[in-house]
Amino acid sequence: MSELITVLAATGRQGSAVVRASLAAGSPVRAVVRDPSRDDARRLADAGAEVVPGSLDDADAIARALQGAAGLFLYQPGFVSPQVTPGIGPDDELRRGRAIIDAAVRAGVGHIVYSSGLGADRPDFSPLSRPKTELEDYLRSTQVPATILRPVGFMENHLGPFRGLRPDGRLASTAPPDVVEQLISVPDIGSIATRALTAPDDWIGRAMDIAADELTAPEIASAIAAATGRAVRYERIPLDEVRTQDPRRAAAIARMWDPDRPAAELQTCRATIPDLTGFRAWLDTPGVTEAFTTYLSEAEPI
């Protein structure tokens, strides 16, 4: 019989992907959610997960959720800014993460898979990586068997305005036209985490930047257009335009496209996980094409 996996923040994008991938692999899953009565939590229960209540700040609930677990998937929302993440302070991510790791050690959890972030091994590059950098170091200091995954940007972020796509088909981006953006789908993160949790001997001790594809902004626009039959065009946002409004944000954006920016080794990722989903294939996933087509309601057909 497969050993129990506990998944925190289980109704979030990464958490729910790990729950579903682990259930599909035949592993029993305990999904920790804020409110088991919500529809997204009920769907996890219907899929076969043991759904239990608990927030990341509820030490007693976390301790109960870890009892008897062989593996833990640890992800938590991180601080971005007071505007973007109003409920999370810059030190909350580190404080919560340390408390969860300590609870896992006390419970005798045999393997922790921590979803960190790209650049956590480069704290000089982005100050937002500091909590993840320190949490990675803390996890190693406990000597509990662990795997660290550092995902790149999500493919799902391109559905909507977050990465610049507009309903009229404009893809407004600060990215230079010849610079690639590395991407991974959330289901692939779930699949990789499940591989690590269900075959720990192959993964313990690894820290891996994970990506499935890389494309320039014009290539992303072209791929969305081909999938949806809607005209999608890349439009460059000059960095000087951003700089006049917010110099600090402009400096952060410039680092995003710096030639020395953190990046996953795509060939290594594909060799390690051959069934990763490329961006164009992801666009053809059931429901994804339809969601993009609906969003692009003002774009001209092609």
Per-residue model confidence (pLDDT) at position 124 = 82
Residues in the chain: 302
- 58 or 82, higher pLDDT: 58
Per-residue model confidence (pLDDT) at position 81 = 62
Mean pLDDT over 39-54 rounds to 98
Per-residue model confidence (pLDDT) at position 57 = 92
Confidence of residue 279 (pLDDT cuts 50, 70, 90): very high
**C-alpha torsion angle, residues 28, 32, 33, 39 (rounded to 10):** 0
Question: What's the CA gap between 241 and 218, in Å, rounded?
Answer: 20
Give the range among 32-46, 85-99, 233-247, 259-273 with minimum mean pLDDT. Answer: 85-99
DSSP state of 230: B
Contact 169, 299 (CB under 8 A): yes
Q: Please provide the distance, in angstroms rounded to a whole number, between the alpha carbons at the two ends of the chain.
A: 53
Task: Return the ∠ at Cα 263 (arms to 282 and 223), rounded to 5°.
Answer: 30
Contact 5, 73 (CB under 8 A): yes
Q: How far is CA 69 from CA 1, 104, 108, in A?
A: 13, 9, 8
Question: What's the CA gap between 31 and 53, in Å, rounded?
Answer: 8
Structural domains of the chain, ranges and CATH numbers in brackets = 5-151 (3.40.50.720), 154-184+212-261+277-302 (3.90.25)
Question: What's the CA gap between 70 and 202, in Å, rounded?
Answer: 15
- The string over 177-203, giving b where at least 16 C-beta atoms fall within 10 Å of a residue's C-beta and e elsewhere, is eeebbbbbbbbbbbbbbbbbbbebeeb
**C-alpha torsion angle, residues 252, 256, 261, 267 (rounded to 10):** 160
| Of residues 225, 127, 214, 139, the one with CA closest to residue 175 | 214
Per-residue model confidence (pLDDT) at position 6 = 99
pTM of the predicted structure, to 2 decimals = 0.94
- Residue 158 in 3-state DSSP? helix
Contact 131, 79 (CB under 8 A): yes
Q: Judge whether residue 101 has pLDDT over 60.
A: yes
| Of residues 99, 184, 211, 138, the one with CA closest to residue 130 | 138
Summary mean pLDDT of the chain: 94
Confidence of residue 82 (pLDDT cuts 50, 70, 90): low
Confidence of residue 24 (pLDDT cuts 50, 70, 90): very high
Q: What is the pLDDT of residues 204-263, one digit of tens each?
A: 999 999 999 999 999 999 999 999 999 999 999 988 888 998 887 788 888 888 899 999
Q: What is the pLDDT of residues 172-211, one digit of tens each?
A: 999 999 999 999 999 999 999 999 999 999 999 999 999 9
Specify the amino acid at residue 301.
P
Strand order in the sheet with 213-216: 153-154, 180-184, 213-216
Contact 30, 72 (CB under 8 A): no
| Of residues 227, 233, 221, 234, the one with CA closest to residue 293 | 227
Q: How far is CA 155 from CA 72, 76, 261, 288, in A?
A: 25, 19, 19, 11
- Residue 28 in 3-state DSSP? coil
Token look-up 């129990």 returns 4
Confidence of residue 83 (pLDDT cuts 50, 70, 90): low
